[in-house]
Amino acid sequence: MTNILTKTTGIAMYMTAGYLNEGDLAVDATCGNGHDTLSLALAVGKSGSVLALDLQKKAVLATEELLTLHGVENVIVKQENFVNIKEAAQREFPGRQPSAVIFNLGYLPGGDKSFTTKKEDTLAAAKAALELVRPGGIITLVLYSGHAEGAEEKAELLTMARELPADRYHAVYTSLLNQKKDPPEVLFITKKK
């Protein structure tokens, strides 16, 4: 077995995939280079669907290229702001609720580091995802606090999570405690049935 504790994104996807079954709908709110999108597509199987969003055209193209390389056809990739996550999902998959929504925040790996997710938009998108996800589903947010905007984004999201009603949600926050240089952390929120 692979040691998933060595890579934060591995922890995030391992937990997220545990909430997905063949035929489910999943949403990658920040598709980046497409790795999370590909993992979600494999987790929901050929009868499932994935909606992948990113504001940057470069990310959309990279995701489409990776999916084509792996012969994956059950994904709709859109260049769209994740603030519109609820509307985009309802437009593309009317009447369906995703079992999982994942956010990999910060900036595009290998891209312009000055173009990053912003706390106001991320908070709005996370709240929309809470409404969108089905009961029993999960929202996964990979947090990068090693830059100023990321630290503010993390603080806002953790405050939001702490204030969620305990009778409707579970919120879990993970951190790699003995790692240096602000390693990524993960916030998991499940919606109770």
The CATH number of whichever domain residue 17 belongs to comes to 3.40.50.150
Residue 164 burial (C-beta neighbours within 10 Å; 0-12, 13-18, 19+): middle
- Give the residue numbers spanning the domain of 152: 4-191
Instruction: Provide the number of structural domains found in the chain.
Output: 1
- pLDDT tens string, the chain, 193 residues long: the values are 566 667 778 889 999 999 999 999 999 999 999 999 999 999 999 999 999 999 999 999 999 999 999 999 999 999 999 999 999 999 999 999 999 999 998 865 776 666 788 889 999 999 999 999 999 999 999 998 887 888 899 999 999 999 999 999 999 999 877 777 888 899 999 999 8
d(CA 10, CA 19): 15
And the tokens for 175?
A: 């951190």
Instruction: Report CA-CA distances (Å) from 145 to 35, 40, 135, 158, 171.
Output: 21, 25, 29, 12, 19
